[in-house]
């Protein structure tokens, strides 16, 4: 592996792409430490030292921003607005005929969809930036911090607008940096930046667990967390690589004097077809009741119930609801992204068929049956991985500081595998030697 990596740096074009990607990462990480105007930096650091940060949706955004959210920096919103915009447009494709038509127009349609994603990203950045500023002003960003009300000392309209505009501009810059990596670097730019954000918080979280431990100076807890992390990485790699291959045979066709077709291929159906998206959807939706209860006035019964049952990640009601939402969104996302009728129609149009299955509607029914069967274990696997922080809270007391939660593990492993594949393909094109031997 290291010899192949050395070969990658010896190849001029590949070396230039790798160095460009590393340079963009340095710029991105620099922006995550530059505070925005109007923020009391000392009060922010005091609150970070006193508390473990915010949970729920803000905890998710803080994870994707590499810890920049709680420090209220220029890149505080990170890549989450772009990810949310991409997911929303992907969901709307099956609802809005115009977006579905753009999807079928090839490269021109993709460019138009990308433009819509940029506009929606900026709009979401304005909304999320406004919410972050409002939460920081009323002291709800940090729980049980004496200096939480001093984070934004100047509450004038001009200061508020300046803070929102700065964070929105930071999101636009992050989006631009991600597109630069995609065009001139290695791998998908937004995925690389998300990978860097999550990986950057891991050393500090591991050291915090070591400091909180009581056995042998915390080294036993530290070693236990590392072993659990290795086991989780192995499990995620195994499941992410697992797929059901449905064989497809294409009949021979004579066009003039030439024979076409007659080849065999397969349709790869991944066990985890939805990826990490169900976890993101479930986390965001489950935080809405807590957010409404937090800003509502009075002591109503529903507010007390939400605060008691849905505001604590280790409560049985929270665990059951979270798991059910993950399973639901896993089936929902697979249903809108993989259309068995469309796949069966394309196969029939080009003379393809599954051995033993008639072309047309029987093929669509068979694909739907197989997809449903493999989605169940994939959805249950996502639910199990997502509950890792809850288990860590009960065992080590790490809670949200646990560095190897379900979302982070899925993203790190998924992006890592995809980037390695791209480097391997680049090496094979130039030196005929893979990255993994």
Can you tell me which residue has the tokens 């115009």?
Answer: 98
Q: 38 CB contacts (<8 Å, ≥6 apart)?
A: 152, 154, 159, 160, 162, 163
CA atoms within 13 A on the CB side of 378: 31
Fold of the CATH domain 242-402: Preprotein translocase SecY subunit (1.10.3370)
Q: What is the DSSP letter of 152?
A: S
CATH architecture of 1-201+409-437: Orthogonal Bundle (1.10)
Nearest-angstrom CA–CA distance, 425 and 64 = 28
Domains 1-201+409-437 and 242-402 share a fold: yes
Beta strands 253-255; 258-260: pairing state:
antiparallel
Sign of the CA dihedral running 135, 138, 140, 144 = positive
Best CA proximity match to 64, nearest among 178, 153, 154, 150: 178
Query: pLDDT tens digits, the chain, 437 residues: what are they?
Result: 566 567 777 778 888 888 999 999 999 999 888 888 888 888 887 777 766 544 445 666 677 676 777 788 888 888 888 888 888 888 788 788 888 888 778 788 888 888 999 999 999 999 888 888 887 887 777 766 766 677 888 888 898 899 999 999 999 999 999 999 988 888 888 888 888 888 887 877 777 777 776 666 677 777 877 887 788 888 888 888 888 888 888 777 666 666 665 678 888 888 888 887 888 778 777 777 766 766 666 666 777 777 777 766 667 787 888 888 888 888 988 888 888 888 888 888 877 888 888 888 888 999 999 999 999 998 888 888 877 766 665 565 555 555 566 677 888 888 888 888 888 777 777 665 555 55
Best CA proximity match to 423, nearest among 210, 130, 192: 192
Q: 54 with 142: CB under 8 angstroms? A: yes
Q: Tokens in use for 176? A: 């631009």
* Domain spans in the chain, listed from the N-terminal domain onward: 1-201+409-437, 242-402
Compute the CA torsion angle 296, 298, 304, 310 (nearest 10 deg). Answer: 10
């Amino acid at each position: 592996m290291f010899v192949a990596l050395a070969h990658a740096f010896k190849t001029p074009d590949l070396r230039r792409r790798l160095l460009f990607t590393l340079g963009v990462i340095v710029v991105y990480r620099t922006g995550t430490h530059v505070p925005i105007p109007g923020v009391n930096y000392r009060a922010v650091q005091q609150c970070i030292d006193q508390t473990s940060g915010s949970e729920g949706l803000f905890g998710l955004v803080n994870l994707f921003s590499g810890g920049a959210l709680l420090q209220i920096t220029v890149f505080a919103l990170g890549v989450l607005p772009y990810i949310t915009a991409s997911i929303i447009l992907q969901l709307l494709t099956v609802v809005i005929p115009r977006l579905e038509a753009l999807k079928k127009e090839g490269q021109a349609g993709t460019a138009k969809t990308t433009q819509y994603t940029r506009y929606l990203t900026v709009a979401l950045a304005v909304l999320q930036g406004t919410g972050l500023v409002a939460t920081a002003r009323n002291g709800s960003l940090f729980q049980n911090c004496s200096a939480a009300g001093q984070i934004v000392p100047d509450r004038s309209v001009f200061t508020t607008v300046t803070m929102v505009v700065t964070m929105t501009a930071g999101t636009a810059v992050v989006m631009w940096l991600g597109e630069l990596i995609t065009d001139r670097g290695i791998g998908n730019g937004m995925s690389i930046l998300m990978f860097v954000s999550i990986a950057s918080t891991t050393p500090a979280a591991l050291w915090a667990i070591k400091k909180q431990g009581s056995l042998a100076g915390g080294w036993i807890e530290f070693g236990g967390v590392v072993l659990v992390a290795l086991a989780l990485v192995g499990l995620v790699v195994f499941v992410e690589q697992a797929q059901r291959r449905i064989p497809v045979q294409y009949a021979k066709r004579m066009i003039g004097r030439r024979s076409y077709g007659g080849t065999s291929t397969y349709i790869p159906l991944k066990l985890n077809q939805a990826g990490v998206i169900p976890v993101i959807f479930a986390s965001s939706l489950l935080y809405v009741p807590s957010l409404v209860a937090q800003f509502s006035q009075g002591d109503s019964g529903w507010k007390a119930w939400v605060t008691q049952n849905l505001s604590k990640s280790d409560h049985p009601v929270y665990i059951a609801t979270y798991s059910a939402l993950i399973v639901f969104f896993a089936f929902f996302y697979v249903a809108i992204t993989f259309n068995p009728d469309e796949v069966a129609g394309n196969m029939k149009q080009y003379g393809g068929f599954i051995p033993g299955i008639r072309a047309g509607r029987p093929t669509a029914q068979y694909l739907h049956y197989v997809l449903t069967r493999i989605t169940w274990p994939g959805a249950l696997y996502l639910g199990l991985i997502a509950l890792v922080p809850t288990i860590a809270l009960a065992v080590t007391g790490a809670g949200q500081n646990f560095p190897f939660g379900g979302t982070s593990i899925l993203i790190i492993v998924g992006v890592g595998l995809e980037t390695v594949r791209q480097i391997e393909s680049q090496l094979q094109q130039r030196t005929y030697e893979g990255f993994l031997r």
